[in-house]
Amino acid sequence: MSLRIHNTLTRSTEPFAPSEPGHVRMYVCGMTIYDLCHIGHARMMMAFDVVQRWLKSSGYRVTYVRNITDIDDKIIQRALDRSITIRALTDEMVRAMHQDIDALGIERPTIEPRATEYVPQMLDLIAKLQSKGLAYQASSGDVNYSVRKFPGYGKLSGKSLDELRAGERVAVQEGKEDPLDFVLWKAAKPTEPADAKWDAAAWGHPFGVGRPGWHIECSAMSCQTLGESFDIHGGGADLQFPHHENEIAQSEGANGKPLARFWVHNGFVRVDNEKMSKSLGNFFTIREVLAKYEPETVRFFLLRTHYRTALNYSDAHLDDARSGLKRLYTALDLALDHPPAQAAAAVDWTNPFALRFKAAMDEDFGTPEAIAVLFDLASEINRSKSANLAGLLRSLGGCLGLLQQEPKTYLQAGAALSDERIAELIAERAAAKAAKNFAGADAVRKQLLEQGIVLKDSAAGTTWEVAQ
């Protein structure tokens, strides 16, 4: 079975092959960095981390571009509120983002362009659109895109122009020829700081002093880094309209070529049946979640739901994810005598478990079904104690960025007592048993259990893990 991906543009799941044999080019809309990333952002970045990981596991070379929006109304306001430069704010937030996603095992993209580094390319694209009659400068000084002059507008979202049309009053207030038109270049306001302004004349364009609109950023950065047409364009479902619709209008209006062959969108994270977002105030930052749960638990929680399905966030679901991941690590711990020496090996794709895993992932990156295979494999390991199957479990988990720790590292994470104190109590219990003081030995076991420490006795000795 070959890889199939759901394409938002065609509303169907289609066989995938890159336009350049062996090389996939993928662009994903990244963060607007004025604050810490929340778990909804993690969900988006995790979804496309898995996409690029599976593409690589399938033998493709992947050029993965995920941008950073580092100029925006909220960024400007936050910098002003903190009395720092825009660059100081965005550098701080980029560092924080990298720390958070690194903790979750989300791999860095091949290229991570910042919008402020591509202003000349944006201006060139705006000029090209103006020369084709698709852009005009309003009396306000803004340069706007003329939506009704692009025949394909609405093909991604499935919305007609009549459905999208707003009131005429908006058009008058904003100086637009049509309420649907959107800004490409924002004329500078006197109240805005100097580091939020660019003079278009410096690059030979007559648009005045201002800054780029949000949508033009990704059109310029994607085309500059991947070419005018590429394989996959991704992002959150909230970007399908208007952001991605506007990207198509800009890029295809300027170049006359399809921007991306596959459009891929991940579902929302929801809390109490509402979308998680900063605007609703119901979000949890990645750092807040990681203060309570191990990073791999959070990763496992995110991957148990298919990327296109809405994900329900709760502590109960994270607790359940922790229990599930412990089951997998317990199987590894049972079968691998020397875990540090058992690095993830190349997968034997002829193995029946591996074949089922591949079939799941090849059907639109089906992580829930793939994880079900991992549990079936763990059950067989518990029965057979097979080190070879344990190696396969670790290798298949590696395709998802899971199960790469030493098992005991995960199983013992979050212990209320120090490793040294637990070792002392285990030694006390062993001494009590040797002296046939079984009541004393039971008292030590109970004492540890009250601290959430479960002892496991075997011929090799006594080990422990944190209770589920």
Q: Specify whether the backbone of 338 is left (phi greater than 0), alpha (psi in -120 to 50) or beta.
A: beta
Q: Residue 162, CB half-sphere, CA atoms under 13 Å: how many?
A: 0
Q: What residues does 236 pair with on adjacent strands?
A: 266
Which domains, ranges and CATH numbers included, belong to the chain?
19-270 (3.40.50.620), 315-411 (1.20.120.640), 419-466 (no CATH)
Q: Spell out the alpha helix ranges (H) of 85-213.
A: 86-103, 119-131, 161-164, 168-174
Taking the model in full, what pTM does it have?
Answer: 0.88
* Contact in structure between 228 and 124 (CB atoms under 8 Å): no
Distance between CA atoms of 214 and 313, rounded to whole angstroms? 29
Chain centroid to CA 329: how far? 24
Here the contacts of 321-327 (C-beta below 8 Å, separation 24 or greater) are 321/297, 322/293, 322/294, 322/297, 322/468, 323/468, 324/300, 324/375, 325/296, 325/297, 325/300, 325/402, 325/410, 326/410, 326/411, 326/465, 326/468, 327/375, 327/378
- Give the pLDDT band of residue 455 (cuts 50, 70, 90): confident
Average pLDDT over residues 202-212: 97
Q: Give tens-digit pLDDT for 340-398.
A: 444 557 899 999 999 999 999 999 999 999 999 999 999 999 999 999 999 999 999 99
Work out the widest C-alpha separation in the chain, in whole angstroms: 93
Chain centroid to CA 27: how far? 12
Q: Give tens-digit pLDDT for 318-356.
A: 999 999 999 999 999 988 764 444 455 789 999 999 999
Q: In what order do the strands lie in the sheet with 182-187?
A: 135-137, 143-145, 182-187, 209-212, 198-199
Q: Give tens-digit pLDDT for 17-49.
A: 999 999 999 999 999 999 999 999 999 999 999
pLDDT of residue 9: 98
- Give the pLDDT band of residue 426 (cuts 50, 70, 90): confident
Q: Give tens-digit pLDDT for 117-158.
A: 999 999 999 999 999 999 999 999 999 999 999 999 999 999
pLDDT of residue 333: 92
Average pLDDT over residues 12-16: 98
Nearest Cα neighbor of 352 from 402, 325, 397, 392 is 392
